[in-house]
Structure 1
């Protein structure tokens, strides 16, 4: 007996947890757009079935006897679709308030969900078919036959790719694969060592699943382990092995399937955006796609997410598509093309631009997105634009209108005006007129082609439209007028000022500031230009401010009045002037020299680099040195120059330093005979001048060069007297001729003065 009591006590103790675990099924509810959801929980051993008769839905939990907890059901939902609930131990009855469709499906092993959908709302979930309440008799047995309700066998399971449902690999096949892998690894190592094998692009090699021999059922392996890949991953396919017998291929790429870098080009259907638009209005497509996006417990359906992202991309919603693709890190990694296209639509560029850049030479539709992935095409050499333009023409009209101007701008920056015009022609054929972005792109093409009048007219139209392209059009118009040396109106300058103030913190801010300041300077308002330069942040120590200062000082040196030039140039510090390009500093030095500020000109000229050799700099440096009476510096500045102009400066330097003979020779070589004569008169060797010279000073020089007798005592007094009288008469005649020479006569006004 004591043993029997102990057995009964142990049996009761074991049954206590089971008794304590019994609890009613908790009902959870939620109101959604177009449907109301009800979720019931139950134990793993319970099965369920649902049936609908007329306006009633009955949910039966077989094996559950503790009823349902519906205390909070109507706290979160209205009574529009579900008007009432009633229950017994294992049955829950829903009274429907509309002619609604009802879907019932299992979520995991312990939940069943019931969706009551408004009329017209579609879903891919299994529907509960409506049955007649009257039972029918089975002809064979005579028993009542009840319609088969929806039950646990309707649980939604993930579909397994039929391509993966294959027999397990045999040991022989696995050995063969292992041998191929070893040989491939050996050849890759040899090729890499010899420099034959190169990897293009920034790719990370994914971890490949391990090939395992058959140790369990294949079905369990496919369900719980990673499936074997049908083909090599992208990073592996992007490696090409060549040897010395390979012939170099011509053309843009290896073939239509690879780029010139050897990367596998995505096929057209991978970026076939024209096929991504579904039937029906946009909101209906998005609503249906979003309904499939998550399961009951926030489990993301990746296929549904990709479909929704493609719908957003088709309609031009890049930010929304990018948000969907970022819901799960693995989803973005599996779809780099979708992520990049979404970023291009939203930001005008792709974050992973280098990957797209490696596909620039592909012949498929990816060429379009490879060009658009970066703000500019910094690609050396020519680029075939045909694949990108063909891909553009295959896009739907609304995307074409948006992307054609961007493609045209990039091709124009690359120097292909004809291709840029072709890109715009794809939207010019549309029935609607070009939008401001298209007209602005067309104006840029016309400017590059030299059609300035048409371009200016289009730019003015874009400015008047007051759109997002208006500030850029205004900048282009000002730059065009400045290149043509045309003044800018006060109205245009005022409009630029307003845009510059409004957009000062944006990417266009520096360009608008530059256009505003230069427009004022070009219209002669230099004081206002320098004030605007400082007010708009021109004193900042950045590249944009330094560039704008240089352009403003260049315009001031070229066109400003003397007083205005001196006033603003004297305010510049040596450090600020040092940041100005050498060409502009040269203009400033020339202007200083012309105005007589020789020391200021010398300070500027000394900051210019000696290399590369600049003839104008050397000549100006020599003139400044001569003006400052520094002939040695002038001769040093002229080293290496061989021209008549340089010889004249050298002659002046030599005359200033006292080398009159050399100066006279240089004057004669330069064809300046009078200067040579004048220089000779300053020299001691008057013998250089002769009577044969056409100058009026020739006879005078000859008289002065006559020598007296070496021994005057050897001659008689009468002879010396006669000789002296002849010399005196000759001298008087020469001086008389000199005094009456026309070149020495003063004009009436000069004589009066």
Structure 2
């Protein structure tokens, strides 16, 4: 059994299957790269040898596939590559370069030959490797590997036996190294986990290497070098992560003393460090202060990062520095130069090149191209969300993700500018840093000021911030020598905001006459100003609105032109044309329910307000079904117009609300409709619980229609409608009440009966002074049986004449009540 184990140990290296490793390459601006495609990276050593560098993996059965090694690199840095056997790869270098190496996640090893000296003198890859010789045959040379050598040096502290003594045992040690011994000496043959990128310097003692005299001292020096290199790298890594801070005062002092004969002045004493708690920023929430571990690692005197009013961090204005993303636009675009830097090594996208090209697209106002490029390479682009938003602003005038930029409008610099540009509209009361916006806008190139400025100025005009809009207009005008119709339109809008309607209209008319690219905007502003002033819109302008809308069909500007055309037709009295255009645009993609509803309401409002009776009946009845979707005020206006024409059925249909309790304003209209239909008791039910003069007036009319004239007269009297109260009392035969008043009815009431009949009439409770008033004395003496015949006949003639005069006055003053429902 022991003999079998010995045979297996001797033959095991011969049974191992050799592996071929492909070497790939790539050239960069300041270094050349080799990638060793291991399936799983073994332990390895890499360092200087005569004529270049050598890579030595722990496995000796590896072979290198160098067929494609120089397909992508020149021989400027790497002159040649050589497979030297036993797994060794030689890299011939004859330039002033240094080497670097690291391992990728998938086990591949990357070797870089970089221009210039190494970043620090103790670079682990600049250490000269010991000379490696072919493996000795049985009976000559040493077969001890580096782990055995290291263990012997560490534990014994003396040189190993001579090659002759070892060779007498066929190259095998007396004892195999124990597991604990291997663990104690592992750093001599492979990199530790703490130094993942740097191979241990103990690999300078290579497999199959004869042990020369003084080997222990040499190995000890190499281990010290290894420890120094590992310590330097770990300290550098900790410093880059902000975990430690290097004290360079002594080194800087030595340098200053060597370069200046005059000794440097003594440093001023530092002020005592303030407690960290005093430097915490106070957020708008007041009682909350947040500090991370990174914050605590930062110097206490570092300025705080800008924050929004909500306490969030402001985006760095450098991310929006579009002015530096291209040259003078007069020299043309540099798309070709930027596109040439898109693809990097191994035909992969170069993130820096993609970002630069996307930014250049934005600089030359190619928003769609920039958005498509960022969407395709979003993983390689710096802040793709910001570049996408800027592309949408350039093309559409606002960003689809505008809500995430709202609080950024309070920040400084270009951040505030692009946050404001991202909004579809601004609102009063928002926190907006207008000073930063105008300064950043003034710093834009002229072509970007002309492209973005009018929309931004309009946004501030919409919230009545005329001062900011004027500063933006002035920035657009700077450097513009030729006449700019777009700037004239903006100036006209500023005049309109300032109340200079005449000057604004004249300026807009000039722009319209030019028929430039700004014609649609100028026409919209001109018609809007006329509508605001209640002016009539010329039919030529309405036709121009329609034709421009057709040219821009399917665009946002085309939809705005249609809206203005509809409003202009409604205000100018062309209601039939307005309804025809409504029928065309309803249901189209550009006119959603939310957008079409205000237009329909405007047209129906104009119909109820301005149309003649004939036009109203023609259009309102034809579009009766559409009225049920209108807002309540518009429906009531249309219903009221139907009721004025005595049409209760369509009025009730417009009001709707079948089976539900109507609102109080609707109950008045329903009561009116019931009275038109001759149902006063229903009208009284609708009016139950309602107060106010209108409700009392309708209730009095309902009582009069129902025959309760006394109650009707009392109700009319409570709201001061004395003529209506007298009429109700007259119709009810309440002569005493009528006679107590003045006028023809009162005189006629005195002729309707004697004092007994008048006294028997019931008084009106709401007017007791009138109910109890005495009848006016007769102005004509009455005929008496005791009078002489001639005197009695003369009195009868005079009485008849007076009665006839009263009746004549009554016939001339009393007319049928035209406003009485059901009359």
Which TM bucket (shorter chain)? 0.5 to 0.7
Q: In 2, distance between residues paired with 1:242 and 1:376?
A: 26
Is it true that 1:564 corresponds to 2:576 in the alignment? no
Q: In 2, distance between residues paired with 1:531 and 1:568?
A: 11
Relative distance call for 1:499 and 1:303 in structure 2 (3 A) is same
Relative distance call for 1:444 and 1:626 in structure 2 (3 A) is same
Is it true that 1:480 corresponds to 2:545 in the alignment? no
Q: What secondary structure sits across from 2:646 in the alignment?
A: coil
CA-to-aligned-CA distance 1:438-475 (integer Å, 9 cap, x gap) = 33333333333333233333433444454554334333
User: Root-mean-square deviation (CA), in Å?
Assistant: 5.5
Is it true that 1:272 corresponds to 2:324 in the alignment? no
1:392 to partner: Cα distance: 0.7
Q: In 2, distance between residues paired with 1:640 and 1:255?
A: 65
CA-to-aligned-CA distance 1:102-158 (integer Å, 9 cap, x gap) = xxxx9994325679xxxxxxxxx99x9xxxxxxxxxxxxxxxxxxx99899899978
For 1:332-371, what aligned pairs fall within 5 Å after superposition?
332=381, 334=383, 336-371=385-420
Q: Which residue of 1 aligns with 2:225?
A: none
Q: In 2, distance between residues paired with 1:603 and 1:377?
A: 40
1:164 to partner: Cα distance: 12
Q: In 2, distance between residues paired with 1:473 and 1:628?
A: 53
1:369 to partner: Cα distance: 0.6
1:382 to partner: Cα distance: 4.7
Q: Which residue of 2 aligns with 1:420?
A: 469
CA-to-aligned-CA distance 1:258-307 (integer Å, 9 cap, x gap) = 11222222344443333444589755854444433323632333334334
Deviation larger for 421-430 or 367-376 = 421-430
Contact 1:316 1:345 in 2 (8 A): yes
Structure number, greater radius of gyration: 2
For 1:321-720, what aligned pairs fall within 5 Å after superposition?
321-326=370-375, 328-332=377-381, 334=383, 336-377=385-426, 381-433=430-482, 435-467=484-516, 469-537=518-586, 542-574=593-625, 576-606=626-656, 613-614=664-665, 620-639=669-688, 646-683=695-732, 686-688=735-737, 695-701=746-752, 703=754, 705=756
Relative distance call for 1:592 and 1:467 in structure 2 (3 A) is same
Contact 1:538 1:549 in 2 (8 A): no
Contact 2:508 2:522 in 1 (8 A): yes
1:229 to partner: Cα distance: 6.9
1:703 to partner: Cα distance: 0.8
Contact 1:691 1:702 in 2 (8 A): no
1:367 to partner: Cα distance: 0.3
Q: Which residue of 1 aligns with 2:351?
A: 302
Relative distance call for 1:282 and 1:222 in structure 2 (3 A) is farther
Give the unaligned 5+ runs of structure 1.
Answer: 1-10, 22-41, 45-61, 63-105, 116-124, 129-147, 169-211, 233-237, 249-253, 709-721
TM-score, with structure 1 as normaliser: 0.61
Relative distance call for 1:284 and 1:217 in structure 2 (3 A) is same
Contact 1:107 1:113 in 2 (8 A): no
CA-to-aligned-CA distance 1:472-520 (integer Å, 9 cap, x gap) = 4333333332333322222222222222223332223433333333433
Contact 1:689 1:702 in 2 (8 A): no
TM-score, with structure 2 as normaliser: 0.56
Contact 1:647 1:670 in 2 (8 A): yes
Relative distance call for 1:313 and 1:231 in structure 2 (3 A) is farther
Relative distance call for 1:577 and 1:114 in structure 2 (3 A) is same
Q: In 1, distance between residues paired with 2:233 and 2:339?
A: 29
1:662 to partner: Cα distance: 1.6
1:378 to partner: Cα distance: 5.4
Contact 1:428 1:434 in 2 (8 A): no
Q: In 2, distance between residues paired with 1:579 and 1:707?
A: 57
Contact 1:692 1:698 in 2 (8 A): no
Give the unaligned 5+ runs of structure 2.
Answer: 1-13, 23-33, 37-51, 53-65, 80-92, 100-110, 125-192, 200-228, 244-279, 291-302, 760-781, 816-823
CA-to-aligned-CA distance 1:513-549 (integer Å, 9 cap, x gap) = 3333343344443333333333445698834444433
Q: What secondary structure sits across from 2:413 in the alignment?
A: coil
CA-to-aligned-CA distance 1:237-277 (integer Å, 9 cap, x gap) = x99999985699xxxxx977111222222344443333444
Q: Which residue of 63, 67, 70 maps to 1:110?
A: 70
Relative distance call for 1:414 and 1:682 in structure 2 (3 A) is closer
CA-to-aligned-CA distance 1:546-596 (integer Å, 9 cap, x gap) = 44333222222222333222212111143x111122222223223323333
Relative distance call for 1:734 and 1:682 in structure 2 (3 A) is farther
CA-to-aligned-CA distance 1:195-243 (integer Å, 9 cap, x gap) = xxxxxxxxxxxxxxxxx844552999999xx9997579xxxxx999999
For 1:188-199, what aligned pairs fall within 5 Å after superposition?
none
Q: What secondary structure sits across from 1:300 in the alignment?
A: coil
Q: In 2, distance between residues paired with 1:367 and 1:633?
A: 63
